[in-house]
Amino acid sequence: MLDTATYTPRLRSVYKDSIRAAMKEEFNYKNDMQIPKLDKIVLNMGIGEAVKDSKKIKSAQADLSAIAGQKAVITKARNSIAGFRVREEMPLGVKVTLRGDRMYEFLDRLITIALPRVRDFRGVKGTSFDGNGNYAMGIKEHIVFPEINFDQIDEVWGMDVIICTTAKTDAEAKALLKAFNMPFNS
């Protein structure tokens, strides 16, 4: 069992020790509070099959909770859409928001363990920024995470990973993620 009072995630200590100084020098920030940092990471799974089988949403929630290290929330439909057989308040997906130490731990596992396990991986797209310093990426198979036991899953789902930063521009956010060793292909 880790003593949480003295334990600091690896990427958080790397950020404090080297990344902050490098970012301050590269972008000529006058104040330390201007230096971009990670704000939160949001994980999202849309489970379209939940319309036909309501048990799949519980399975997806268990899988995402195992990946994130905290309980995932079931998201529900806002409107009824007859063409898709969706009713209002019907469960359609799961999501979880990570902050603090869990956020740094997840980012570390994503970069060092999960992304290299993706089939035919050639790096993540370097243009998936939203203009405000946030990065979004999709993973086609959630089984790339070591927390998922391949023999016990009933279906493979994709997931969205949104990394929110305090950076004002995409260039600052990309430099921050590159400093964390995010494998950009461009």
Instruction: Report the CATH number that the domain containing residue 121 is assigned in CATH.
Output: 3.30.1440.10
Tell me what pLDDT residue 102 has. 92
Is 29 part of any domain? no
Predicted local distance difference test score (pLDDT) of residue 148 = 85
Strand positions, DSSP E, the chain: 38-46, 73-76, 91-98, 135-139, 159-165
CB atoms within 10 A of CB 40: 14
pLDDT mean across residues, the chain: 87
Residue 142 included in any domain = yes
Range of the domain at 92: 37-179
**pLDDT confidence band for 2 (50 / 70 / 90):** low
**Torsion from C-alpha of 47, 51, 53, 58, nearest 10 degrees:** 40
Say if 27 falls within a structural domain: no
How much is the pTM?
Answer: 0.87
7 located within any domain = no
Q: Residue 88 corresponds to which tokens in the numbers above? A: 């209002």
44's CB contacts (< 8 A; 6+ apart) are 75, 93, 94, 95, 159, 160, 162
Phi (first) and psi of residue 95, to 5 degrees:
-145, 160
Classify residue 25: in a domain, yes or no.
no
Structural domain contains residue 32: no
Q: Is residue 123 part of a domain?
A: yes
pLDDT by residue (tens digit) across 70-124? 999 988 877 777 777 777 777 788 999 999 999 999 999 999 998 888 888 888 8
Domain count, the chain: 1
What is the percentage of the chain residues whose pLDDT exceeds 70? 94
Q: E strands along 37-131, which residues?
A: 38-46, 73-76, 91-98
Is 80 part of a structural domain of the chain? yes
Cα atoms in the Cβ-side hemisphere of radius 13 Å centred on 11: 22
